[in-house]
A and B are shown apart, each in its own frame.
Chain A
Amino acid sequence: MTDISPEMWAKVPAGEKAAPIPPPAPTYGQEVRRRLWANKPAVVSIVFIVLLVIAAFFGPYLSPHTYFKQDLKLANIPPFFETYAVTDGAGETTRFFLNASNFNLYEVDAEGNMLGLLRGGRKDMIKKSQPYEFGDQTLTLDYSKLPVRLLLEDGSEVRPSGWSWNRTYLFGTDQLGRDILVRQLYGAQISLTVAFVATLVNFFIGVFYGGIAGYMGGKVDAVMMRFVEIISTIPLTLYVVLLMVVFDSGLLSIIVAIGSVFWVDMARIVRGQILSLKSQDYVAAARTMGASPARILTRHLLPNSIGPIIVTLTMLIPSAIFIESFMSFIGLGVTPPLASWGSLTSEAVETLRAYPHQLFFPAAAISLTMFAFNFLGDGLRDALDPRVGR
């Protein structure tokens, strides 16, 4: 049978190519990477998350501002503004912008760097106006009717000379004159720390709890899962408030609260995986070799449920971020002057009508981060599922 008679051999005719030898089949890891890479939203999300982490942990060192230093003279500065230019008799030009919500003038240079608050003359409380002197020129700020106007001595209105970005405070300042960008980066640090620590705690508790419940099965499983159901019925807000009594208000109690409640999802998913995997033949094979339950769990069952575990983890991160923000928003979060996205949002809501930009940045950060983690989780789930693709 192994002999092939000589007449069965033949040359490939000239010009014809031999059948190509197929390349070796890609491994599971390569397949996962290829499928994840083909998922554009997931790739964009990965890039966003990496940039966010780098910015959160290294960004504050590059900034001249700190999250706690207040400058009440420069409070509520927007990230961009309309500049005015006034030239006095000596030929000196002063650039400034008008904060239409608090009726202050701030001096800026041509590039948009903040130079400081301009001091005006006595306010005329009855006519609702305030004079500003620039050399021999005098401008009157008239706020008797809105929108406010800047009037020259002859009564004509000064027009803004153009738009400019705020180069000193890229995202503007809050009502205490703190740089919003730096506070936002610190907020990202706190939100990401809470998310990762809580997720890590969830991972360990959930995987082991679910693993043991699934592997033991029977009565042990029934009791352990009833306990999970009890925990999942406790309202989280109430629980955090109670924890604040024990610990102080702050990061620790939020991490403890999220870490001690959120693992139930992970436990359920791991238990389901283990239940379906433990009837596999390779588990039976390990048992016939005398492998201990711990070994079967750690070497056989958990490595084979790693896909759903990773997906659940990436889905847990955005909900942890959201819970932290929500807790900070209702005042149960980090203590001032520390900032988190939630506390930034809640501070911004107070001045929402006058300075909507203060709400925009933290809200955008929360939404984009949650989007990114959700897209990444979806992408990972599709990529790790061997039934998809091929």
Chain B
Amino acid sequence: MTQPLLQLRDLHKHFRLPAAPFAPKPILRAVDGVDLDLMKGETLGLVGESGCGKSTLARTVIRLHEPTSGSIVFDGQEVGKAPEGLLGNFRRRVQMIFQDPYASLNPRMSVGDLIAEPLEIAGVGTPAERRKKVAGLLDRVGLPSDSAQRFAHEFSGGQRQRIGIARAIALEPDLVICDEPISALDVSVQAQVVNMLEDLQADLGLTYLFITHDLSMVRHISDRIGVMYLGKIVELASSADLYHRPSHPYTRALLSAIPVPDPEAARAVEPMQGEIPSPIDIPSGCRFRTRCPLATELCAKVEPQLTDIGGGHLAACHFAGELAQQANGVRAPLQERVQ
């Protein structure tokens, strides 16, 4: 078996929240034990609702946050605990595309300077060579070549995201972490950007960690999909398999909530109850049990682990096997089948 490009083992990122003096500081467990293998050239989608720790995971992997514990192994090298000064190679080979194309581009820098910045920091080429390279990158992401002298605020959201992408691929990285790159864009622009990301992947052999909450888009772009809930991955499978037989009740609830652009279509909606619990006070046992229609006493006591339910399909639910079998049939109200 080939070595994964990125390997996360029991990765934790906890934040200490401010508290009154002498009171114990509450701990927010944003990422709470994530294991993940990312193969070279694949796209791993990561989905989950707001506040589940997707973005924190992305920012921890790229070392914008220091991991609290656990390891990040990139191409055989441990980078989770390396000091910033020794990250040079990692910084060059891993890049990030940000969610907000307005906030992620410095308004005081011209587009040319923005795209050339990673090259400049890495010390690649002379200024003239960098200008040439920037022109090539602009062309590649479909922006007019005179954009280099202009400023980011003169562009639309989609164009700005293209600038962000050009900046991310400037150093020809191996891994690109896309933190909801399309959620701030119009639907028509989303498709263009996603197609461009796919083309770039094919041309440059990129590996994507693609974070989103858009379930229909993630299916289109991902080879594998991980579902995150309260700082943990609860289900991980190839994208076809995940949509075909979702084996965690949370995944099922998410999938049933995908809007269908057809007002006539009948939908078997399984509404989820309640809000996502606070990551400061994570429920005992299975972290989804407070909202799960299937929760039993077992769920409150024993935390289910990610287990293979066949064909590399991992799910962390005591009833994953039954759910998987049931999913092979028609989508029916969940409650009846289990009882």
Task: Point out residues on A near B: beta carbons under 8 Å.
Answer: 25, 27-28, 280-282, 284-291, 295, 299-300, 303-304, 306
Partner of A290, one of B88, B107, B151: B88
Nearest CB of A to B66, in Å: 12
Q: Which residues of B contact A27 (CB under 8 A)?
A: 151, 154
Taking Cβ atoms with an 8 Å cutoff, the residues of B that contact A are: 59, 62-64, 87-88, 91-92, 94-96, 98-100, 103-109, 117-118, 121-122, 151, 153-154, 164, 167
- Contact residues in B for A299 (Cβ distance below 8 Å): 106, 109, 117
Contact between chains at A284 and B64 (CB < 8 Å): yes
Q: Are B153 and A28 in contact (CB-based, < 8 A)?
A: yes
- Pick from A28, A287, A288, A300: contact of B106, CB below 8 A: A300
User: Given known contacts A282-B104, A285-B104, is B95 in contact with A291 (CB within 8 Å)?
Assistant: no
Q: Contacts A285-B98, A295-B121 given: A290-B92 contact, CB under 8 Å? A: yes
Bound together, the chains give a CA A280 to CA B154 distance in angstroms of 19
Instruction: Point out the residues of chain A lying under 8 angstroms from B108, CB to CB.
Output: 300, 303-304, 306
Q: Which residue of B lies closest to A1 (CB)?
A: B188
B98 touches A304 (CB 8 A): no
What's the Cα separation between A287 and B91 when bound, in Å? 9
Report which residue of B94, B95, B106 has the largest number of chain A beta carbons within 10 angstroms of its beta carbon: B106
Enumerate chain B residues within 8 angstroms of A295, measured Cβ to Cβ. 121
A288–B108 alpha-carbon span in the complex (Å):
19
Name the residue of chain B whose CB is nearest to the CB of A292: B121
Interchain CA distance A28-B108 in the complex, whole Å: 10
**CB of A219 to closest CB in B, whole Å:** 15
From B92, B94, B106, contact of A282 by CB (8 A)? B106
Given contacts A28-B153, A282-B104, A299-B109, contact A290 B91 (CB under 8 A): yes
Pair A289/B121 contact, Cβ less than 8 Å: yes
B121 x A290 contact (CB < 8 A): yes
Given A27-B151, A290-B122: A281 in contact with B95 (beta carbons within 8 A):
no
Contacts of B100 in A (CB 8 A): 281
A291 to B103, CA, bound (A): 18
Q: State the CA gap A280–B101 with chains docked (Å).
A: 12
> Max chain B CB contacts within 10 Å: which of A28, A288, A303?
A288
What are the 8 A-B residue pairs with the smallest beta carbon separation, nearest first?
Answer: A290-B91, A281-B104, A281-B103, A303-B108, A282-B106, A289-B118, A288-B96, A281-B98
Q: Is the pair B91, A282 in contact by a Cβ cutoff of 8 Å?
A: no
Give min CB distance, B195 to chain A, whole Å. Answer: 15
Q: Report yes or no: A280 in contact with B151, Cβ–Cβ below 8 A.
A: no
Bound form: Cα–Cα A280–B118 in Å:
18
Closest to A25 in B: B154
Given the known interface contacts A281-B100, A303-B108, the answer about A288 and B121 at a Cβ–Cβ threshold of 8 Å is no
The listed residue with most B CB atoms (<10 A of its CB), out of A290, A295, A299, A304, is A290
* Complex contacts, A286 vs chain B, CB 8 Å: 106, 117
Distance in Å: Cβ of A115 to nearest Cβ of chain B: 63
**Which residues on B sit within 8 Å (CB–CB) of A281?**
98-100, 103-104
Chain B residues contacting A287 (CB-CB under 8 Å) are 64
Find out whether the CB atom of B104 lies under 8 angstroms from the CB atom of A288. Answer: no
Assess whether B104 is in contact with A289, with CB atoms less than 8 Å apart: no
Given contact pairs A280-B103, A282-B104, A300-B106, a sample of 16 additional A-B residue pairs in the complex whose CB atoms are under 8 Å apart:
A25-B154, A282-B103, A282-B105, A285-B98, A285-B164, A286-B106, A288-B94, A289-B117, A289-B118, A289-B121, A290-B121, A290-B122, A295-B121, A300-B108, A303-B106, A306-B108
Q: Name the distance in Å between B82's Cβ and chain A's nearest Cβ.
A: 12
Cα(A251)–Cα(B337), bound, Å = 91
Say whether, besides A300-B106, A303-B108, A304-B108, A288 and B64 are in contact (CB < 8 Å): yes
A304→B106 CA distance, assembly (Å): 8
Check A290 against B87 for contact (C-beta < 8 Å).
yes
A-B contact pairs, 23 of them (CB 8 A): A25-B154, A28-B153, A282-B104, A282-B105, A285-B96, A285-B98, A285-B104, A285-B167, A286-B117, A288-B64, A288-B96, A289-B91, A289-B95, A289-B117, A289-B121, A289-B122, A291-B121, A299-B109, A300-B106, A300-B108, A304-B106, A304-B108, A306-B108
What is the minimal beta-carbon distance from B308 to any residue of chain A, in angstroms?
A: 34
Complex Cα distance A288/B60, Å? 11
Q: How far is the CA of A281 from the CA of B164 in the complex (A)?
A: 11
In the complex, which residues of chain A have a beta carbon less than 8 angstroms from the beta carbon of B104? 281-282, 284-285
User: Closest Cβ of chain B: how far from A32's Cβ, in Å?
Assistant: 13
Q: How far is the CB of A39 from chain B (nearest CB, A)?
A: 23
For A304, the closest partner residue in chain B by CB is B108
Whole-angstrom CA separation of A304 from B104 in the bound complex: 13
Which residues on B sit within 8 Å (CB–CB) of A290?
Answer: 87-88, 91-92, 121-122
Chain A neighbourhood of B59, CB < 8 A: 284
CA of A188 to CA of B62, assembled, Å: 57
Q: Which residue of A lies closest to B99 (CB)?
A: A281
In Å, the complex CA distance between A130 and B164 comes to 92
Inside 8 A of B151's CB, which chain A residues have their CB? 27-28
Cα distance, A295 to B106, chains bound together (Å): 13
List the A side residues contacting B63 at CB < 8 Å.
Answer: 288
B154 neighbours in A (Cβ, 8 Å):
25, 27
Inter-chain CA distance A192–B76, complex, in Å, is: 63
> In the assembly, what is the distance between CA of A28 and CA of B100, in Å?
21
Complex: how many Å from CA A287 to CA B96?
A: 10
**What's the nearest-Cβ distance from chain B to residue A26, in Å?**
11
Question: For residue B153, which residue of chain A has the nearest CB?
Answer: A28
A388 and B91 CA atoms in complex are apart in Å by: 39
Chain A's nearest CB lies how many Å from the CB of B106? 4
Residues from chain A with a CB closer than 8 A to the CB of B92 are 290
List B contacts of A300 (CB < 8 A): 106, 108
